[in-house]
Amino acid sequence: MYTFSRLCLNLNQAAANQKERILSDYVKSVDEESLAHAFHLLLENRPERCITSATLRQWVLEESGIPEWLLEESIDMIGDPAAALAMVISDSTIPDPISLPQVMQVVQNLKTETPENQKIIIAELWKRMDAEQRLIFNKLLTGTFRYKIRPVEAAKAIEPITTKPISELIQAFSQKWEIHEWSNMVEQSSDINFAPSYVPFRPVSEIISDPEQLGNPSDWLALFTFQGIHVQARVLKKGIQLWTRNEELLPDVFPEVRNAASYFEEGTLLIAELVVQPADDETPGFFSNLIKRIQSKKMRHDLMERSPVKLVVQDMLFEGNKDIRNLSLLERRKRLQARMKKVKDYGFQYAPAIEFKSWDDLRRCQTQIREKLADGISLQKLHAPWDAQALLKLKAAPFEINAVLLYVSKIPDKNKKIITECGFGVWRENASGQPEIISITRSNEGLSPELIQQLDAWVKLHTRERFGPVRSVDAELVFQLQFDEIQTSRRHKSGLVLQNVRMKMPLEPLSIQQAGTWEQLNAMVSN
Question: Residue 329: inside a domain, yes or no?
Answer: yes
Q: Identify whether residues 221 and 370 lie together within a single domain.
A: yes
Is 191 part of any domain?
no
Q: Convert 436-460 into a string of H (helix), E (strand) and C (coil).
A: EEEEEEEECCCCCHHHHHHHHHHHH
The residue out of 343, 368, 394 marking a domain boundary is 394
User: 220: pLDDT confidence band, cut at 50, 70 and 90?
Assistant: very high
Number of domains in the chain: 3
- Among 121, 142, 163, give the residue marking a domain's end: 142
216 and 365, same domain (yes or no): yes
Q: Are residues 231 and 367 in the same domain?
A: yes
Q: Which stretch of 139-148, 291-300, 307-316, 467-476 has the lowest confidence by average pLDDT?
A: 291-300
My answer on whether 120 and 260 are in the same domain is no
In a domain? residue 167: no
* Residue whose C-alpha is closest to residue 401's, from 496, 517, 527, 487: 517
In a 3-state reduction of DSSP, which class is residue 117? helix
- The single-letter code of the amino acid at 390 is A
CA separation (Å) from 123 to 134, 139, 252, 315? Answer: 10, 15, 43, 61
Assess whether 413 and 389 both reside in one domain: no
Say if CB 92 and CB 128 are below 8 A apart: yes
Predicted confidence (pLDDT) per residue in 75-112, tens digit: 776 666 777 777 777 776 566 788 888 888 888 888 88
Indicate the Cα dihedral angle 212, 216, 219, 221, nearest 10°: 40
The whole-number average pLDDT for the span 18-39 is 87
Domain span including residue 302: 206-394
Q: Identify whether residues 377 and 462 lie together within a single domain.
A: no
Backbone angles phi, psi at 318, to 5 degrees: -125, 130
CATH code at position 255: 3.30.470.30
Mean pLDDT for 496-500 is 88
- The more confident residue out of 148 and 218 is 218
Question: Confidence class of residue 426 from pLDDT cuts 50, 70 and 90?
Answer: very high
Residue type, position 325, single letter: R
End-to-end CA distance of the chain: 57
Who contacts 328 (Cβ-Cβ below 8 Å, separation ≥6)? 382, 383, 384, 385
Same domain, 255 and 390: yes
Q: Which of 8-22, 201-215, 272-286 has the lowest mean pLDDT?
A: 272-286
pLDDT recorded at residue 191: 47
How high does pLDDT run on average in the chain?
83
On whether both 409 and 331 belong to a single domain, the answer is no
Q: Which of 119, 142, 165 lies at the terminal end of a domain, its last residue?
A: 142
Q: Is there a single domain that holds both residue 386 and residue 414?
A: no
Residue 403 is predicted with a pLDDT of 94
pLDDT at position 13? 80
Least confident of 183-187, 212-216, 242-246: 183-187
Burial of 246 (0-12, 13-18, 19+ CB in 10 A): exposed
Give pLDDT, residue 193: 47
**Which residues is 413 bridged to in the sheet?**
416
Residues 118-139 have a mean pLDDT of 84
Q: Are residues 412 and 369 in the same domain?
A: no
Predicted TM-score (pTM) of the model is: 0.62
What tens digit of pLDDT does each residue of 345-393 get? 778 889 999 999 999 999 888 888 877 878 889 999 999 998 766 678 8
pLDDT of residue 241: 85
- Residue 307: per-residue pLDDT: 80
Does residue 174 sit within a domain? no
What is the rounded CA–CA span in Å between residue 76 and residue 227?
A: 45
Residue 459: inside a domain: yes
For residues 266 and 310, membership in a common domain is answered with yes
Whole-number pLDDT of residue 425:
92
Q: Which residue has the higher pLDDT, 41 or 344?
A: 41
**pLDDT > 70? residue 270:** yes
We report the CATH number of the domain holding residue 406 as 2.40.50.140
Q: What is the pLDDT of residue 406?
A: 93
In the chain, what percentage of residues exceed pLDDT 70? 91
> Is the residue at 116 inside a domain?
yes
Average pLDDT over residues 466-486: 88
Instruction: Classify residue 320: in a domain, yes or no.
Output: yes
Which helix (H) or strand (E) segment holds residue 400: the answer is: strand 399-413
Let me know whether 211 and 354 are in one domain.
yes
Task: Judge whether 287 lies within some domain.
Answer: yes
